[in-house]
Amino acid sequence: MIVSTMSSRVMATFTVVFFVMVSILPNNSAASNSTVDDEPFITINTGNGLTFEDVINISGQSNIPAAELLWSINHIHPVDTLLVTDGQIMSSSTFSEVSIADDIYNWEISVPVDGLNCTCTFFISAINNVDLEESSIILFIGQNSHFSVINHIPSFQNIVDNQIKYLSYEIVSPDSNSLNVPEISESFAFKANICQYSGNSCVSESVQVEINHSVQSDGTFLLEIDKTYLAIDDGNWNFEIYLRDSYLRFSNVDEQILTFDTNPPMVEILGTNKTQEMGLEVFSTNIDDGYDSSLVALTWTITEPNGMLRGLIDGEYMSDSSISIQFNQSGEWNISVLAIDSVGYFTKQSHIVYVQNIIPIISLNSSIETSNNKELEFDLDDLWFVDASLTFDTVNDIDELTFTWFLDDEIIHVGKSLSNEQLNKSGNHEIILIVTDNDGDTAQSTIEIMLNSEDDSENGSNIIAIAIILIVVLLASILLMRFRKEEASFNLPKWGK
């Protein structure tokens, strides 16, 4: 009974899980279809290059409501047209017939030709969806004034060459059968009006050239534009490409801007070759790729004297053609530029900058107020000091300065200050302070320090007292001797009669 009950529960659980999974799968599929269907699209079902002699009949479908679609028919002008007017012939947002099936709008347009003769383009687009690319086909309307139309086909399979460019073209002809006849197809001639191009206009006279072409297996035409064959220089060139077919009719014009670049760019770095530590210098470049409007990308590299690469620090900047650098170390710096042009040619140029170290500037203060901190006098029992902590150096060196104090060519102290703790011997002392930065450069200052003791004062006083006594005794002796001499030679006067 227990086994049977457990089996029933397992079966029941499995059944529930199975139905849940089954119910989920269709929903996922529906969601996926819904996601695909939500992508807006417009499709023209009518073939490209059809001829309409009496009535223009075009059909298509979209998942955008027909009320939000706008269609137009525009003239295509051949290359030899002297006056090009507004190409639009008609435009409307109404359709001859619209039906809906599975949220897809099927629409048809039926418009009488009414004597119109043109080679035209039919466009249709969504009014409220500007991101959706408009769809188009070529139409030949009426019985006259038709010519072949060339349409450039972008291709990533064509050979990439800096000297030869390859362009693929589709030809839509009113005589569609002629494209299938090799002899007629080979009689087609591709020509171009070319000029050197800079900015948004030509900077040279326009020249007409013929372009070599070949017919591909899929019916497209491959044009070979050879820089050497056309005898043109490096640069940007404007090609107005057109076709002369076997009936000597000229097609429309397709405009292409092509760049020929067979040489690497020339780079010159402008700026100083020498500076001082912590100096801020600006460097710029002159780039010459051989023609105007050349697109060259620059990459700056900063190499410190220790061989390490570094980026920009605070206070530095970099623009398209210049850079400012603060040299926070002395030594030999390498500033290099890698210039890459639009076709991949590159040049690397280096610029060496010799950065001179700034030696420390010694500043002294003492425990007594004096205008001359290089001749100091203290009592031996005083608490005195001579401080050099205000010594100046660059920001990157100031924290690594070494202060060494010498007496009689011997080190008596290493530190920013000298005090009575390091020097306590009476007498006159000539102290030499040497300050060394992290580049090994030094600054030196000499200080005269006189230390007086009480014994020296007492000895001095005794000597002075003895000297005074000796002087007094000497003076007294001189006076006494003088008086005695005068008394020995004294004679009483004699009175005469």
With 0-12 / 13-18 / 19 or more C-beta atoms within 10 angstroms meaning exposed / middle / buried, residue 483 is exposed
User: Are 153 and 252 part of one and the same domain?
Assistant: yes
Query: How many domains is the chain built from?
Result: 4
Look at residue 132 and give its three-state secondary structure: coil
> 370: pLDDT confidence band, cut at 50, 70 and 90?
confident
Q: Is 472 among the domain residues?
A: no
Residue 5 pLDDT: 36
Cα separations in angstroms, 170 against 153, 166, 180: 7, 14, 13
What pLDDT, on a 0 to 100 scale, did the predictor assign at position 375?
87
Confirm if 103 and 63 have CB atoms less than 8 A apart: yes
Pair 285, 378 in one domain: no
> 336 and 283 in contact (C-beta within 8 Å)?
no
- How much is the mean pLDDT over the chain? 83
Place of tokens 């003791």: 453
- Token representation of residue 158: 């064509």
3-state SS assignment for residue 31: helix
Kindly report the CATH number assigned to the domain that includes residue 90: 2.60.40
- Binned at pLDDT 50, 70 and 90, residue 488 comes out as low
In a shared domain, residues 172 and 190: yes
Instruction: Say whether both 185 and 116 belong to one domain.
Output: no
pLDDT band at 184 (very low <50, low <70, confident <90, very high): low
The CATH number covering residue 439 comes to: 2.60.40.10
pLDDT exceeds cutoff 50 at 450: yes
195 & 271 share domain: no
The answer to whether position 25 is within a domain reads no
Range of the domain at 346: 266-356
Q: What is the token pair recorded at 341? A: 């042009």
- The sheet with strand 375-379 has its strands ordered as 375-379, 442-452, 427-436, 402-407, 410-414
Count helices and strands in the chain by DSSP H and E runs: 5, 34
Give Cβ neighbours of residue 100 (< 8 Å, ≥ 6 apart).
106
Asked whether residue 496 is domain-assigned, the answer is no
User: Of 141, 171, 191, at which residue does a domain stop?
Assistant: 141
3-class DSSP string for 432-462: EEEEECCCCCEEEEEEEEEEECHHHHHHHHH
pLDDT of 169 higher than 90: yes
Same domain, 154 and 244: yes
Q: Tokens 């320090």 correspond to what residue?
A: 449
Answer yes or no: do 253 and 274 share one domain: no
Structure confidence by residue, pLDDT tens digits, 78-123 = 987 766 666 788 999 999 999 999 999 999 999 999 889 999 999 9
Assigned token pair, 325: 């650098």
Which residue type occupies 55? V
Q: Which of 417, 436, 454 is the last residue in one of the domains?
A: 454
Helix (H) or strand (E) holding 269: strand 266-270
The answer to whether residue 436 is domain-embedded is yes
**Within a 10 A sphere around the Cβ of 205, how many other Cβ atoms?**
7
What's the Rg (C-alpha) of the chain?
Answer: 51
More confident residue, 248 or 35: 248
Q: Residue 86: which residues within 8 A CB-CB, separation 6 or more?
A: none
486 or 149: which leads in pLDDT: 149
Q: Do residue 254 and residue 274 come from a single domain?
A: no
Q: Does residue 34 carry a pLDDT above 70? A: no
Asked whether the predicted pLDDT for residue 19 surpasses 80, the reply is no
* Residue of 261 and 158 predicted with greater confidence: 261
CA distance 69 to 62: 9
**H-assigned helices in 343-453:** 395-398
Residue 15 lies in a domain: no
pLDDT digits (tens, 9 = 90+) for 47-66: 999 999 999 999 999 999 99
Confirm whether 467 is domain-assigned. Answer: no
Side-chain-side CA neighbours of residue 140 (13 Å): 17
Q: How far apart are the first and last CA of the chain?
A: 194
Q: Are residues 340 and 411 in the same domain?
A: no
Residue 459 falls inside a structural domain: no
Nearest-angstrom CA–CA distance, 298 and 340: 7
Quote the pLDDT of residue 35. 39
Q: Give me the percent of the chain exceeding a pLDDT of 90.
A: 51
Q: Are residues 303 and 324 in the same domain?
A: yes
By percentage, how much of the chain surpasses pLDDT 70? 84
> Which range, of 108-117, 351-360, 394-403, 463-472, averages the lowest pLDDT?
463-472
How far is the C-alpha of 394 from the C-alpha of 390, rounded, in Å? 12
pTM higher than the cut 0.75:
no
Whether 5 is in a domain gets the answer no
Higher pLDDT, 465 or 393: 393
DSSP string, 84-104: ----EEEEES--SEEEEETTE
Judge if 75 and 129 occupy the same domain: yes
Boundary residue ending a domain (356, 384, 404): 356
Are 175 and 234 found together in one domain? yes
- Angle (nearest 5°) at CA 385 between 384 and 389: 160
Sheet strands side by side (includes 296-303): 274-276, 346-356, 331-341, 296-303, 309-310
Residue 494: half-sphere exposure toward Cβ, Cα within 13 Å: 2
